[in-house]
Amino acid sequence: MINLTPQLTTQQLTDPMQPEPFRVKRVMKESYDTFTLEMEPVNSERLFTFAPGQFNMLYIFGVGEIPISISGDPNQPAMLVHTTRIVGAVTKAMSKLKTGDVLGVRGPFGTGWPVSAAKGCDVVLVAGGIGLAPLRPVLYQMLAHRDRYGKVVLLYGCRSPEDILFRKELEKWRARFDLEIFVTVDYGDSDWHGNVGVVTKLIPKAPFDALNTVAMVCGPEVMMRFTAIELQKRGVQGEAIALSMERNMKCAIGLCGHCQFGPTFICKDGPVFTYPQLQSWLAQWEI
């Protein structure tokens, strides 16, 4: 079983329910409904160390707080980076933030992707939609220590060509010889010359050695279920597949009860789990 405990010791939080103010340094529009915020602490020189896969609770003053995974580079802890899609009141308010505005941050919380367990293995990242955001730190980490891993493959599916996140970065990475990137969209227009179809379709042909692969999967739950099945068909061991789960969260420290999924608390036992930890529960409705 791969170990999902973050390799980095997270900062001891004085009161884990108190947000710390962070100032927005840059806002980047990723697509019509998705944006990235880069931010720095207002009152301290705190370096925001985190493990790829961990998340923060982001607070908009007087509006509310939601869990969002960290999408930045773990080797650049001076800048905290989050990528979010507008889905509700808080993310809507967040989308209106400008450079210089302040928001609250609690974290980092939760387990991380099995980045160190993947040493010496091929790595396949399967992302669906906004699920690419929590996997981006893994790519940064692997590119910073490229010699530690075998093949590194990203399979990324999204709605349409307009929804592709981090497009420039993906293009830059695609040009590298040591990174394989395959993108597919559900529906393509006449300008789209790439793949069309669901992301699981990319798995049978992707270049990795299934018996020596660690897979990290993030996207809608249905997509993750089918991805895990397809990866196993290819020969990847269930134990070598990690998934990142999402549920309602209020506290992020295992006390509010909202994020329970079977016996687990997604916030502290996850969000990253191995497939066998979740398998029996994923098949059930309304867990």
Pairing verdict, β 213-218 and 241-244: parallel
CB 89 within 8 A of CB 66: no
Task: Tell me which residue of 122, 53, 108, 59 sits closest to 80, measured CA to CA.
Answer: 108
- 246 binds other proteins, rule: CB under 8 A: yes
Among 113, 265, 273, 275, binds other proteins (CB under 8 A): 265
- 188 binds other proteins, rule: CB under 8 A: yes
- 61 binds other proteins, rule: CB under 8 A: yes
Among 119, 186, 232, 234, binds other proteins (CB under 8 A): 186
Q: Can you tell me the distance from the alpha carbon of 123 to that of 287, in angstroms, rounded to the nearest whole number?
A: 30
Return the residues of window 164-183 that contact other proteins according to CB under 8 A: none
- 287 binds other proteins, rule: CB under 8 A: yes
- 201 binds other proteins, rule: CB under 8 A: yes
SS (H, E, C) 8-68: CCCCCCCCCCCCEEEEEEEEEEEECCEEEEEEEECCCCCCCCCCCCCEEEEEECCCEEEEE
Give 277's DSSP letter.
Answer: H
Among 68, 164, 251, 282, binds other proteins (CB under 8 A): 251
- Site pattern 16..55 for other proteins (x: CB under 8 A): xxxx-x-x------------------xx------------
Which range binds other proteins by CB under 8 A, 113-121, 148-156, 216-224, 271-279? 216-224
Count interface residues toward other proteins (CB under 8 A).
69
* CA 242 from centroid of its chain's CA atoms: 11
Among 30, 38, 163, 180, binds other proteins (CB under 8 A): 163
- 98 binds other proteins, rule: CB under 8 A: no
CB 185 within 8 A of CB 170: no
Return the residues of window 127-156 that contact other proteins according to CB under 8 A: 128-130
Q: Cα dihedral angle (1, 240, 269, 261), rounded to 10 degrees?
A: -120
CB 104 within 8 A of CB 58: yes
- 207 binds other proteins, rule: CB under 8 A: no
CB 266 within 8 A of CB 245: yes
Among 63, 78, 144, 211, binds other proteins (CB under 8 A): 63
Question: Minimal distance in Å, beta carbon 200 to other proteins?
Answer: 7
* Helix pair 275-282, 221-234: axis angle to 10 deg: 120
Name the site residues for other proteins (rule: CB under 8 A).
15-19, 21, 23, 42-43, 59, 61-65, 87-88, 100, 102, 104, 128-130, 157-159, 163, 184, 186-190, 192-198, 200-201, 205, 219-220, 222-223, 226, 246-248, 250-251, 253-258, 260, 262-263, 265, 268, 280, 284-287
